[in-house]
A and B are shown apart, each in its own frame.
Chain A
Amino acid sequence: MPVALVALPILLGLLTLFIRGEAKRRLRRFFLVVGAVFHFGGVISLHLRSTENLLQGFIQIDALGLLFLTIISLLFFLVAIYSLGYFQHEREKYTEEGVSHLYVPCMLFFLAAMTLATLASQVGVLWIAIEGTTIASAPLIYYHRHHQALEAAWKYLLMCSVGIAIALLGIFFVIASGKGSVTDLSFSTFIANAASLDHRWLRIGFILILVGFGTKMGLAPLHNWLPDAHSEAPSQVSALLSGALLNCAFLGILRFYQVLMAAGLSDFAQKLLVCFGLISLFVAAVFITGQRDYKRMLAYSSVEHMGIMALGVGWGVQFGTLLHVINHSLTKGLLFLTAGQILIAYRTKNAFEVRGLLKTVPESGWLFLIGGLAIAGSPPFSPFISEFLILRGGLNQGYWLSSFFYLLFLGIIFVSMSRIVLRMVQGERQQLSFRHESSSRLIFFPPILLALLVLVFGLYLPAPMISFLQAAAHLIGGGL
């Protein structure tokens, strides 16, 4: 069953690769939704079946991987539905030629690679999967085929490929630290044999892995590709990049963190993570302040939240961090999907040219307001809860100085982001120069669902979800 979650999208992707031409675009989109529905169903059945760990061949299922997989699957499902509506608008603007028929196959390959990344039990397979996500998503960023999109895709492909090559080097160092004692190279064997690992090699290996996967995760100062790729990709692809892809790289780091923790080097790893986290928060605060492009603002907000996650693990607040992973993905998915609606209505990415959103396109206006307030960290939305949990954990552990900077940067980001978002939603109704009455319901349903989830999780966390998160947090060394 878990193998099917990887194999099915690949098969459907290969199938749609041969369905070419303008006339058959509906058929391709149909296969995209079929793939998404089956994947989501499969993931839910994994939840229902059992909670024990499963290990077969290169595939393992544990609470940590399953958590990330569920986020990916839910987001992909919503994005597939959104795509159906989004492309009804696109049709007026773009004719399908060149690489555009690759949209559906690449989306499906992207889904397969991300799934494999969450299920990989072996260091090499994890690396292959994460490199696979880069290759599958680069053509998606180039979807609109103008030169900025090309620039963003080239930068993304080259930077992430180099970064991931560095991560491979790190993986070799980690393997070499076993001095031949770890024969099957699975994470569970590494953790079991952790006492016999050579610390010097393990340290170098983790630094290289953190730099390599950190590039992909968007940790500053390795984040340069991220704002370009997120702002130039179609909005639903940006939602996936931010809500699912960055998480995969984070999971890659967490897997090796597990190994280091078992080897008794968690202090060393945590110090590094806190450093990267604070630098990311600083960079995000600087670039969100005075940002003109609302999609770039959202991209820098991803840098911020990746920083918060790195910081959370660094402080040892594992439960709060994993909760934050969920909250960030839901909220950022909501925001990027809504940004896509705004882009359709206003045809500009400049935040200064978008005024009166609440009166012009009320649905998008409310969604953007909710999402903007939630991601900036205001109650009662769910990101506030997890950011607060992380802060409380940090203070309890006595990290006074870094907690001070955490609060300072979050405060700056809160003010700057609310200013941009509020300016966009307020104001008089604007006359849009073209019709947008044809807005399909399909592009409103997914963000509305996400907004509801963000609100509900902010007020109430279901007990099964808490125990599941605790099980996952336990794997990376956290109590509550």
Chain B
Amino acid sequence: MEWLLIGIIFSTFFILGSGRITSCIRAAAMQGALLSLLPMVVRGSLVDPHSLGLFVGTFLIKAILIPFMLFRSMREASIREEIEPTVSLHLSLLAGGLVVVIAFSGVFSRLPGANTPLIVPAALSMVLLGFLLLVSRKKAVTQVIGFLVLENGVFLFGMTLVKEFPITVEMGVLLDLLVGVFVMGIMIYHINRTFDHIDTTLLTSLKDS
């Protein structure tokens, strides 16, 4: 269990420090795969239908379909490989480290209900790191990855703290995420076609004078 959490946070740092979009997408897929293993480990059983269904659904959507769609929209929009962060990669790694230190500093780990003391701070740091990615990246694809990391953090909370969700609702949540990323992928394609790049800092013509 602890190893899974450490792996998940490690993959986020890989995204934070990586200079290539393809490796970011691969790391996000890896993170999805690790995350899909978590409910089975938490529940401690491999055969009960609920955990199995959740594993299959999460793995399929987070580790296969969403990365596939991101790769496809990159290919179709012929996006250049390099990441252009608004703050340098070193600085964002440093900020990420700071965020994790704050999350693990013990304020939140005392909240009741968690099976292990690591789970709440780990989820919290994922959410904050997702925010960091969202604000420190310029390209539309990397912003989507930031959103995915944030969403994974929320999932981490949900899978471990909440055991009452019916499987239909969980599948609905996953499906919403899938369709959402699908629509984002289509928009990335259109952004690229309209502006000839997917740099969102130039999406600033709408403002109040």
Q: Which residues of A contact B (CB under 8 A)?
A: 58, 99, 122, 124-125, 127-128, 131-132, 134-135, 138-139, 142, 145, 147-148, 150-155, 157-158, 161-162, 165-166, 168-169, 172-173, 175-176, 179-180, 182-185, 198, 200-201, 227-228, 231-232, 287, 291-292, 296
* CB-defined contacts of A135 to chain B, threshold 8 Å: 176, 179-180, 183
Proximity bits, B179-201, A CB within 8 Å = 1, else 0 = 11001101100110011000010
Q: Does B166 contact A (CB under 8 A)?
A: yes
Q: Which residues of A contact B164 (CB under 8 A)?
A: 175, 180, 182-185
Enumerate 10 A-B pairs (CB-CB under 8 Å) in ascending A order.
Answer: A58-B169, A124-B170, A128-B169, A128-B176, A142-B190, A148-B205, A154-B187, A169-B127, A185-B165, A185-B169
B113 within 8 A of A: yes
Q: Which residues of A contact B49 (CB under 8 A)?
A: none
Number of interface residues of B (CB under 8 A): 42
Is B187 touching A150 in the complex (CB atoms < 8 A)? yes
A296 vs B209: C-alpha distance in the bound complex, in angstroms?
A: 11
- In-complex Cβ contact of B169 among A125, A134, A150 (8 A): A125
Whether B203 and A151, one on each chain, are in contact in the complex, defined by CB atoms closer than 8 angstroms, is yes
Q: Please state if A122 and B169 are interface contacts (CB–CB under 8 Å).
A: yes
Q: Which residues of A contact B200 (CB under 8 A)?
A: 154
CB distance from A304 to the nearest CB of B (A): 15
Q: Please indicate the chain A residues that have their CB under 8 angstroms from the CB of B112 in the complex.
A: 179, 198
Give, as a whole number of angstroms, the nearest-CB distance from B137 to chain A. 12
**Binary CB contact string for chain B from 129 to 151 against chain A (1 if under 8 A, 0 otherwise):** 00000100000100110010011
The answer on a CB contact under 8 Å between B206 and A228 is yes
Does the CB pair A172–B162 fall under 8 Å? yes
CB-based contact A124/B205 at 8 Å: no
Most chain A beta carbons < 10 A, residue from B140, B157, B180: B180
Contact status B176-A131, CB under 8 Å:
yes
A204 smallest CB distance to B (angstroms): 8
Of the candidates A150, A162, A165, A231, which one forms a contact with B191 in the assembled complex, judged by CB atoms under 8 Å apart?
A150
Q: Does any Cβ of A come within 8 Å of B57's Cβ?
A: no
Q: Does B208 make an interface contact (CB < 8 A)?
A: yes
Q: Tell yes or no: B44 within 8 A of A by CB.
A: no
B64 at the interface (CB under 8 A from A): no
